[in-house]
Amino acid sequence: MNTACIDRLRELAESITALSLSHLQPATRAKLYRNDLSVNAYPTEFGGLVYVGSPPHRIPVETDLALIAGLSAHAGIEWLFFDAEGPVVNGLPVFDTHQSTP
């Protein structure tokens, strides 16, 4: 087994956390689906990946996402995976998920 390769892959690894799409306001969710967020994002059919960096490269303009990105930076999280079936995080705001359409 190539341990040097494995070690290098570990060095390059970035942290990710999954959370409920309900933590984003309907307008932010719509921007995510349209790939129109103020930070790098990769929409999926049921949410999307958002790169926040650690430390953050850019603070999101969207206030709900900025709050989550700030907390994520303190946790060392670099990627957020928003998913319709993702877990709800106690302490974060929750918005009605039925108000947004892709």
100 pLDDT more than 70: no
With residue 64 as reference, give the H or E element that holds it: helix 63-75
Distance in angstroms (rounded) separating the CA atoms of residues 20 and 10: 27
57 pLDDT more than 90: no
Residue ranges per structural domain of the chain: 14-83
Distance set, CA 72 to CA 9, 66, 79, 89 (Å): 22, 10, 9, 12
Query: What is the pLDDT averaged over residues 75-90?
Result: 96
Query: What is the pLDDT averaged over residues 21-43?
Result: 96
Percent of the chain with pLDDT over 70: 94
102 pLDDT more than 60: no
Average pLDDT, the chain: 92
Query: What is the pLDDT averaged over residues 45-73?
Result: 92
pLDDT at 101: 46
Query: What is the pLDDT averaged over residues 17-35?
Result: 97
pTM equals 0.87
